[in-house]
Amino acid sequence: MNKLILGRYFPGDSWIHRLDPRAKLVAAIYFIFVLFLANNWQTYVFLWLFTTAVILLSNISIRTYLRGVRPLIWLILFTVFLQVLFTAGGEIYVDLGPITISKFGLINGFYIFCRFIMIIFISTVVTLTTKPIDLTDGMNALLRPLRKLKVPVDELSLMLSISLRFIPNLLDETQKVMDAQRARGTEFGEGSLVKQMKTLVPIFLPLFVSSLNRAEDMANVMEVRGYQSDVKRSTFRQLSWQQKDTISLLVMAMLTVALLVLRSNGFGH
């Protein structure tokens, strides 16, 4: 559990840290859509160079990002494995009815693997370099136009803020419970599937009770402080859009143009 870095913030003073959270959110979401423009090895090499540059600009070690990918690697490989087995095209290497292994399937599986890894890296850059409360303020500002459609933007932002705030605490508490169970002789990851599932019960029950108690305490604190969902509130932290934020979006636009050029002029699909 201590390998998961979702929701964790690494303090720093890098160029990425100083960006407005709205710019980082827009750039990250835009990057996910831009990934689907890549269709050959040239575009993927260019995207990898861009992703590496963003990681270096965050001034956070690459080992940290790799540590964040490691817990998800089996899920990614499983998705790639299904893509390879059930996608046919080009030269066929193995043909077992609906299950085939072809050149197109292998290439497409590799491209999907690259997409997953780059999405995780860029998303991790946003969470590691942005305070959860700033991330919530940025999300609230971006969703503000939806208020005209009666969308509860403030409630959604509050839910996001609480979730991001307590994910690291929940992971740390899970690790403590597992360590306590190991001290009592519990062995995780060994034995049959049924036995492994039984060993998880002593973990889930304390975490479930602890989460309910924390939620009740949070509700009491909000009630004491007079929180009301239908009342317009001011914010202590004011977001400030600066020139570097505009530059970051211009970089994303140039990235799109470069991908379109490499997509049309590339060779060796």
Query: Same domain for 192 and 255?
Result: no
pLDDT at 118: 92
Query: Same domain for 246 and 219?
Result: no
pLDDT in tens, 88-106: 666 777 666 667 777 777 8
Q: Give the count of domains, the chain.
A: 2
Query: Same domain for 121 and 71?
Result: yes
pTM: 0.75
Query: Same domain for 94 and 6?
Result: yes
Structural domain boundaries enclosing 194: 166-228
- Listed in sequence order, the DSSP H helices in the chain are 21-34, 41-57, 62-69, 73-85, 103-129, 132-143, 153-183, 193-224, 243-265
Torsion-angle region of 87 (φ positive above 0: left; ψ -120 to 50: alpha; else: beta): beta
Domain assignment present for residue 80? The answer is yes
Alpha carbon distance 108, 114 (integer Å): 10
269 residues of the chain, pLDDT tens digit each: 455 666 677 888 888 988 998 899 999 999 999 988 888 888 999 999 999 999 999 888 888 888 877 777 888 888 888 877 777 666 777 666 667 777 777 888 888 899 999 998 998 888 889 887 788 788 888 888 887 887 777 778 778 777 777 777 777 788 788 888 778 777 766 666 677 677 777 777 888 888 888 888 888 888 887 777 666 766 667 788 889 989 999 999 999 999 988 887 654 44
Query: Same domain for 23 and 93?
Result: yes
Query: Same domain for 8 and 91?
Result: yes
pLDDT at 249: 92
Query: Same domain for 5 and 50?
Result: yes
Domain assignment present for residue 145? The answer is no
**In the block, which residue shows the tokens 């080992």?**
63
Query: Same domain for 116 and 172?
Result: no
pLDDT at 24: 92
Domain assignment present for residue 161? The answer is no
Domain assignment present for residue 159? The answer is no
pLDDT at 182: 78
Domain assignment present for residue 246? The answer is yes
- Tokens linked to 38: 């890549």
> Is residue 95 within a helix (H) or strand (E), and if so which, with residue range?
strand 92-96
Alpha carbon distance 223, 121 (integer Å): 38
pLDDT at 1: 47
Domain assignment present for residue 42? The answer is yes
Query: Same domain for 93 and 26?
Result: yes
Query: Same domain for 244 and 214?
Result: no
- Cβ-contact 178, 201 below 8 angstroms: no
Domain assignment present for residue 157? The answer is no
Query: Same domain for 207 and 126?
Result: no
Query: Same domain for 81 and 114?
Result: yes
Domain assignment present for residue 214? The answer is yes
